[in-house]
Amino acid sequence: METPLQLTFRSMPHSDTLAAHLRMRTDRLERMFDHIISCHVVVELAADHHQHGDRCRFSINVGLSGHEVVVSHAPQPGHVLDSASANADHAFDEAERQLEDWVTKRRDRRHEGPGDSP
């Protein structure tokens, strides 16, 4: 990445354990997709955390050359016991899917001829 990972914790204290997990998942993204320029992850307490414990919502913004992948993941109502790391994994899994789609579309456009159009 050209820009170091940015981690922001909102409405909650910084967690070294969660930050390490987020760095590990970001490193994995970077190994899978070499065109990543930047990544900003925001962690904040979900609105219903008072009824269900410290449930976190994650926003991931991945900057690419000429494109941006934005993922927002809030804990699902039925997954009350999911940890913050598990919710982060769900968000990063979605980011991986979106990045794979972007790579596929880019590859397909390169293989189309100048006169070809979908």
CATH of the domain at 56: 3.30.160.100
Contact between 46 and 37 under an 8 Å Cβ cutoff? The reply is no
Contact between 21 and 55 under an 8 Å Cβ cutoff? The reply is no
The Cα–Cα gap between 56 and 74 comes to: 7
Q: Strands 6-10 and 36-45, how do they pair?
A: parallel
Question: Is residue 15 a part of any domain in this protein?
Answer: yes
Question: Is residue 98 a part of any domain in this protein?
Answer: yes
In whole numbers, what is the pLDDT of the chain averaged over residues? 85
Query: Is the per-residue pLDDT at 108 higher than 50?
Result: yes
Residue range(s) defining the domain that contains residue 107: 6-111
The model's confidence at residue 106, banded by pLDDT at 50, 70 and 90, is confident
Question: Is residue 63 a part of any domain in this protein?
Answer: yes
Question: Is residue 116 a part of any domain in this protein?
Answer: no
pTM above 0.85, yes or no: no
109 class by beta-carbon count within 10 Å (0-12 exposed, 13-18 middle, 19+ buried): exposed
- Count Cβ atoms below 10 Å from residue 41 Cβ, excluding itself: 25
Question: Is residue 117 a part of any domain in this protein?
Answer: no
Mean pLDDT value of segment 16-27: 96
Question: Is residue 118 a part of any domain in this protein?
Answer: no
The model's confidence at residue 54, banded by pLDDT at 50, 70 and 90, is low
The model's confidence at residue 107, banded by pLDDT at 50, 70 and 90, is confident
The model's confidence at residue 49, banded by pLDDT at 50, 70 and 90, is very low
| pLDDT digit string, tens, across residues 37-47 | 999 999 998 76
Question: Is residue 90 a part of any domain in this protein?
Answer: yes
- Number of domains the chain contains: 1
